[in-house]
Structure 1
């Protein structure tokens, strides 16, 4: 069920403290931690603490939390000192787009030049 922790969800288990992560920010509704397989010098994931399988379902169910995720992504960029040079926020939705953990999350990427188009 959306919003409820899922015992088989990696990110729900990180939120619960069952799996360690290098946390860089935390708010009442979000958690931000370093990606274990970074694709840029700065690669931080920002997730809602509540379980939603993807960004679209998060936005439909809890638009204020979706906004929190984006706000926190900007704060991560500022904390990581990449806001001034530019950064990318990526929200993959569905396996075909590269989503591998089906808990909504935003990738904050920066610290190097980004190419366009991505992927």
Structure 2
């Protein structure tokens, strides 16, 4: 085997490792984003029924929304933060997941996903 062939094979393996670990990190990021969006949607469905039935407008029940989003995160097996906006019109979720590289050990770390749900109708 020539030196050129050996160098080429090593370079191809290095590129394959970069692609594989990069795709794995992208998968982890996509998962974190998806879980954050779904948790926000789950929390966004926690409408304050008392105000809605009384005709006082439709707003998110802050405590129920946060609890629903945290429950979703717990069932998904990830950690994150949940915040309701000051006006009660939106819910923001941030998810952090760790990623472990297979070939490039130094490329391991964490990825962060963000999701939010806005209350479209406010009475």
For this structure pair, what is the TM-score category when the shorter chain's length is used for normalisation? 0.3 to 0.5
Q: Could you say which structure has the higher helix fraction?
A: 2
Give me the TM-score of the superposition, normalised by structure 1: 0.34
Give me the TM-score of the superposition, normalised by structure 2: 0.33
